[in-house]
Amino acid sequence: MDTASPRLRMSVIGVVVVGCFAALFARLWYLQVMEAPQLEVQATANRTRTVAVEAPRGRILDRNGKVIVDNETSLVVTVDRNALRKLPKDQRDALVSKLAATFTDFGTPTKIETIERRLADQQYDDLQPVPVVNGISQDLMVYLSEHAEEFPTVGVERESVRKYNYGAYGANIVGYVGRITKETLEAVKDSPGVDPDGVAKEYQPDSTIGLAGVEAAYEKDLRGTPGTEVVEIDAKNRPVRTVSYQAPRPGSDVQLNIDIDLQVKAEDSLRQQLDATRGGSQKDNYGIRVKNAPAGAAVVLDPNSGAVLALATYPTYDPQDFVNGISDERYQQLLNTNGVSALIDRAITGVYAPGSTFKLVTASAALNNGLITGGTTYNDTGVFTVGGQDFRSTGKNGYIALPRALTVSSDVYFYWLGSRMDGTTDIQDTAARFGFDSTTGIDLPNESPGYVLTPADKKALHDKNPDAWPYSDWFTGDSVQLAIGQNAVAVTPIQLAGAYGALANGGTVYQPHVVARVLKPSSRTGIPLGSPDTADVLRVVDPVVRSQVDMPPGTRDPIVEGLSQVTHGGTAALAFTGFDQRAFPVVGKTGTAQVQGKADTSVFASYAPADQPQYAVAAVLEESGFGADAAAPVVRHVYEFLAGQAETGFKAVETGKQD
């Protein structure tokens, strides 16, 4: 018997065993010594989760330090999904049904489907209770606490939510917030804002984000820095204990140029005038039409900086409706308020024919290009004929120069100027310098550019849609209509106020801005703009010049001379009867823009005081008749507030004049 083979085999086996143990020991040494730091991190991550804690947003203040938007504590009903899953299905269904009924009984109508949709929403972290109803009453909280055994897995938490102290006033300016969507989360995840210490303000699937107005435009400033809670979890991903907690930090405060008291006055004046106008009738050369007066806007600017002091729009909404999620029914109501949407900021988005307020542009173009001087006269016979077509004006003014033509708003005089500039783009070029035909750059979303058609624009529109634009050629009639602010031009109220602000300051067109500065989080209130105390200021929004309009004395003086008389013996004299213009003289222009099949759009643009301009004010009221009848009274009431004069009641002003 050969004994060598067993010994050989045992030796080989021994070598293999020793080799295996050597490899095992080497691997253990590598894992425990070389890879220990990295594996420790992974092991810790496997048994802990970091949960973000939402931070309060910064406040929004007016120019005098009054808090327009703040935060308040809201009671939120939550459901622990981990605990809910442990219940039998029949108990889960019964709990959801009972919750819906209880919410409804306590004044918060809630459907079972709504709760189920919240519970199934994967945007919420499983480690955190899911909010199913926000903003419950104290009574409901007490009821749920007293009947806790009937509502297993249900809790009540407190969270910070937005509080809009002035309700609907200024809603179009401050905007509103809402829960971030998947699409928005993807868009902002790589570019979150940072706080003053350079810490990123990361977003989570259930974060709140600004959706309109300043809330959206200054999101990176207003958003707070989320806190972090490190939670230990078990093998089934259930929370066991809190390992550490870092408190969230509130966002920066934003101070506006808006004077909230002036904003309230502008909105009230606009709404009351529309209410007083609605249902009346307009009689002119085209017959009798009903004034539906559904909507409008008013703007107050500082002509020396572009600061927006008030920005009124009607109809409007209460941003508080959006805080806890707006219902479909309420949202549809806002989309159809008196036949129009309340969610449109007509001050910056509404586009209107400016009517005779556009004569500022036409007059400037004619003067700057040497076609006329302030003393050049033309015979206003009440009609101007172009190519066999008569363009008529209200009244006959005889031989008049530019100042008088502006005061009485002679269309014939400006028809003549338009015909003389036919074949050029002098009017369009001047309009562009005044800030028309492009967005102003205001620090709010969704601004419209308006338009001032050129011959090239008209041809392009015809080529694109010949049915809507059957003629590609530019006719003299187009120039004639453009000269009085009809057909070929549409502007926004903010553009119109900016243009008259440029006339006020001698030719500088500023970019309007509603925000004045960004302040440290939870800075003190009551510090007005202009205060020497700047310790809390993080950033200042400086004036920006958009363009310059040539305004030498030979151009500006005759225009101002004519517009200064509009509120005295001109087209707006009745609207300003009783207003003390010796103390506060107003330079302005009425406008009446025709709209086919509807009552005219009423327009008024102005600045004051005439000698030392501080304000540029414009108002546009849809389907409200002549400019002097509706828009001018709104502006007058705004100036009464600014000048500290006794206010007059709202009453219809019937001038019987288109301008």
Q: Tell me which residue of 61, 50, 68 sits closest to 226, measured CA to CA.
A: 50
Taking 50 as the threshold, does the pLDDT of residue 567 lie above it?
yes
Q: Domain coordinates of the chain in residue numbers?
A: 50-256, 260-507+549-643
Report the CATH architecture of 50-256. Answer: Alpha-Beta Complex (3.90)
CB 102 within 8 A of CB 140: yes
CB 295 within 8 A of CB 346: yes
pLDDT at 398 (0 to 100): 95
Q: Region 121-149: what's the mean pLDDT?
A: 80
pLDDT at 189 (0 to 100): 80
Q: Of 130-144, 162-176, 463-477, 545-559, which gets the smallest average pLDDT?
A: 130-144
Going 492 to 496 to 501 to 503, the CA torsion angle's sign is positive
Q: Of 30-44, 263-277, 470-484, 556-570, which gets the smallest average pLDDT?
A: 30-44
The tokens of 1 are what? 């018997």
Report the CATH architecture of 260-507+549-643. Answer: 3-Layer(aba) Sandwich (3.40)
pLDDT at 593 (0 to 100): 92
Q: Region 19-27: what's the mean pLDDT?
A: 61
Q: Region 578-588: what's the mean pLDDT?
A: 96
CA 618 – CA 346 distance, rounded (Å)? 12
* DSSP letter, residue 604: E
Q: Region 46-59: what's the mean pLDDT?
A: 77
* Residue environment code for 179-194, b if the CB has 16+ CB neighbours within 10 A, otherwise e: bbeeeebeebeeebbe
pLDDT at 43 (0 to 100): 45
Number of neighbouring beta carbons within 10 Å of residue 412: 24
The tokens of 497 are what? 């106020």
| pTM to 2 decimal places | 0.86
Q: Tell me which residue of 322, 63, 299, 279 sits closest to 167, measured CA to CA.
A: 322
Three-state secondary-structure class, residue 330: helix
CA 636 – CA 653 distance, rounded (Å)? 12
pLDDT at 237 (0 to 100): 56
Query: Across the chain, which distance is largest between two alpha carbons, in Å?
Result: 144
Kindly indicate the confidence band of residue 16, based on its pLDDT and cuts at 50, 70 and 90.
Answer: low
Taking 60 as the threshold, does the pLDDT of residue 30 lie above it?
no
* DSSP letter, residue 337: B
CB 198 within 8 A of CB 226: no
Q: What are phi and psi of 364, to 5 degrees?
A: -65, -40
Taking 60 as the threshold, does the pLDDT of residue 617 lie above it?
yes
Q: Region 196-202: what's the mean pLDDT?
A: 86
Q: What is the pLDDT of residues 459-497, one digit of tens each?
A: 999 999 999 899 999 999 999 999 999 999 999 999 999
Q: Tell me which residue of 304, 303, 306, 311 sits closest to 348, measured CA to CA.
A: 311
Angle at 76 between CA 73 and CA 78, to 5 degrees: 150
Q: Region 116-136: what's the mean pLDDT?
A: 78
Q: Of 98-112, 208-222, 260-274, which gets the smallest average pLDDT?
A: 98-112
The tokens of 432 are what? 């562009």
Q: What is the pLDDT of residues 510-531, one digit of tens each?
A: 999 999 999 998 766 667 888 7
CA atoms within 13 A on the CB side of 48: 16
Taking 80 as the threshold, does the pLDDT of residue 416 lie above it?
yes
Please list, in sequence order, all residues whose beta carbon lies within 8 angstroms of the beta carbon of residue 394, skipping any fewer than 6 positions away: 285, 382, 411, 657, 658, 659
CB 315 within 8 A of CB 332: no
Q: What is the pLDDT of residues 527-552, one digit of tens each?
A: 788 877 777 899 999 999 999 999 99
Q: What is the pLDDT of residues 433-454, one digit of tens each?
A: 999 999 999 999 999 999 999 9
Kindly indicate the confidence band of residue 635, based on its pLDDT and cuts at 50, 70 and 90.
Answer: very high
Taking 60 as the threshold, does the pLDDT of residue 234 lie above it?
yes
Kindly indicate the confidence band of residue 42, based on its pLDDT and cuts at 50, 70 and 90.
Answer: very low
CB 353 within 8 A of CB 490: yes
Q: Region 303-311: what's the mean pLDDT?
A: 98
Higher per-residue pLDDT: 360 or 17: 360
Q: Tell me which residue of 585, 659, 242, 216 sits closest to 409, measured CA to CA.
A: 659
Phi-psi region of 395 (alpha: psi -120 to 50; beta: other; left: phi over 0): left
Please list, in sequence order, all residues whose beta carbon lies within 8 angstroms of the beta carbon of residue 375, skipping any fewer than 6 positions away: 401, 402, 558
pLDDT at 41 (0 to 100): 47
The tokens of 317 are what? 């909404």
pLDDT at 555 (0 to 100): 98
* Residue environment code for 543-558, b if the CB has 16+ CB neighbours within 10 A, otherwise e: eeebbebebeeebbeb
Kindly indicate the confidence band of residue 386, based on its pLDDT and cuts at 50, 70 and 90.
Answer: very high
pLDDT at 158 (0 to 100): 81
What percent of the chain lies above the pLDDT cut of 90? 58
pLDDT at 25 (0 to 100): 62
Q: Region 383-396: what's the mean pLDDT?
A: 88
CA 345 – CA 331 distance, rounded (Å)? 16
pLDDT at 529 (0 to 100): 87
Indicate the average pLDDT of the chain. 88
Q: Of 223-232, 368-377, 585-594, 639-648, which gets the smallest average pLDDT?
A: 223-232
Q: Tell me which residue of 460, 438, 450 sits closest to 488, measured CA to CA.
A: 450
CA 517 – CA 65 distance, rounded (Å)? 12
Q: Tell me which residue of 18, 379, 322, 313 sits closest to 173, measured CA to CA.
A: 313
Kindly indicate the confidence band of residue 360, based on its pLDDT and cuts at 50, 70 and 90.
Answer: very high
Please list, in sequence order, all residues whose beta carbon lies within 8 angstroms of the beta carbon of residue 266, skipping any fewer than 6 positions away: 298, 300, 310, 311, 312, 634, 638
Report how far apart, in Å, the C-alpha atoms of 619 and of each of 262, 401, 431, 595, 599 are: 14, 27, 19, 17, 16
Q: Region 176-199: what's the mean pLDDT?
A: 86
Number of neighbouring beta carbons within 10 Å of residue 452: 25
pLDDT at 491 (0 to 100): 98
